[in-house]
Structure 1
Amino acid sequence: MDYALAVEDTPETISGGTGVLLVHPSTGETDRIDTDFLSTDTDHFLVVSTRTTAREVEQKLEHYDVDREKATILDALSIERGYSRRSGEGVHYVSSPDDIEGIVETVAEFLEGHSGKLRVSVDSVTEMAYYADEERAREAVEGLLDLLDDHDAVGLFHLAEEVHDESVVEEYRELFDGVISLDVDGEVRGDF
């Protein structure tokens, strides 16, 4: 199954099972790329948010006019910040961004529980590495890429470039079929 990819300087379509790495400055404006990715040619999507709360994700989706009915959100931050939360109505929670097993399990459940064209956004791998460590974050990414492949889905994984050693960024680049680089001026470059 092919998926449209509505991001400048990238192929028009990518095949199911493709993971795309979004490398950006830590202050980079990634919302437009993320929401374009999620809203195009999609039946259902999951936002794995280790950087913002579910409420902030909902505000972003609303601001960019993305269909909330298609969305499931995994919030890895609210409980960590001390808010008591129960899953329901398209929002799920794990205890913190270092709950790697919980994150991978929730993504698996989403992919198994939905059909059609499925997209996953992981915002962000950098936060997972900050809370867990580089090795566990990388294992999570590898597990998520395997799940995308198994379910013919596609994913966009955010990585703040300057936070990681150059060698770590290169290792991540090698894991992915496509890399979108966003520079500080907002210029986008695709490498597929």
Structure 2
Amino acid sequence: MDYELAIENAPDTVPGGTGVLLVHPSTGETDRIDTDFLKSDTDHLLVISTRTTAREVQQKLEYYDVDETKADILDTLSVERGYSRRPSDHVHYVSSPDDLAGIVDITREFLADNEGKRRVSLDSITEMAYYADEERAMEAVEEILDLLAEYDAVGLFHLSAEVHDEEAVTEFQALFDGVVTLSEDGTVYADF
């Protein structure tokens, strides 16, 4: 199964099982790339957010005209920060961004429970590494990439380049089928 990519300077389509790493400056405006990826050619989508709450994710999806009826959201912040939570069939929670096993489990459940074209967005690996550590974050990313391959889904994973040393960025890049780099001036480079 092929998926439209809708990312500037990247291939028009990628096969199911493809993981794409979005490397961006910490001030980079990634919402446009993320939401274009999510709203293209998809039946179900999962947004794993380690940076913002479910409510903020819902506002972003609404603002960029992503069909929210197709969306599941995994909020990793609200429990730890003591925010009010409204669990529903489409909003899931884990205790904190370092509950990597919980993140992987909910991703697996989402992929197993939904059929058709499925997309996963993980924003961001950097926050997972901040709360856990780089090695554990890398292991969790590898597990999610394996799930994408198993279920013929695709994923977009965010990484803030300035926060990690060059060696770590290179190690993360090596895990992915494609790397999209967003420069400070908004130019998009893609390597597949």
| Identical aligned residues as a percent | 71
Size of the alignment, in residue pairs?
192
Q: Answer yes or no: is 1:137 the counterpart of 2:140.
A: no
SS in 2 for 1:157: strand
Q: Answer yes or no: is 1:16 the counterpart of 2:16.
A: yes
Question: What's the CA shift for 1:80?
Answer: 1.2
Aligned residue in 1 for 2:39? 39
Aligned residue in 1 for 2:127? 127
Q: CA–CA distance in 2 between the matches of 1:79 and 1:22?
A: 27
Question: What's the CA shift for 1:83?
Answer: 1.9
Aligned residue in 1 for 2:188? 188
Q: CA–CA distance in 2 between the matches of 1:100 and 1:84?
A: 22
Aligned residue in 1 for 2:151? 151
Aligned residue in 2 for 1:53? 53
Code of the aligned partner of 1:2: D
Question: What's the CA shift for 1:181?
Answer: 0.1
Give unpaired runs (5+ residues) of structure 2.
Answer: none
SS in 1 for 2:61: helix
Q: CA–CA distance in 2 between the matches of 1:11 and 1:24?
A: 19
Q: Cα deviations across residues 85-130 of structure 1 (Å, max 9, x unaligned)? A: 3531310000000000000000000000000000000000000000
Aligned residue in 2 for 1:74? 74
RMSD: 0.7
Q: CA–CA distance in 2 between the matches of 1:16 and 1:40?
A: 14
Question: What's the CA shift for 1:150?
Answer: 0.2
Give unpaired runs (5+ residues) of structure 1.
Answer: none
Range 62-71 or range 81-90, more displaced: 81-90
SS in 2 for 1:79: helix
SS in 1 for 2:48: strand
SS in 2 for 1:87: coil
Aligned residue in 2 for 1:164? 164
Q: CA–CA distance in 2 between the matches of 1:131 and 1:118?
A: 27
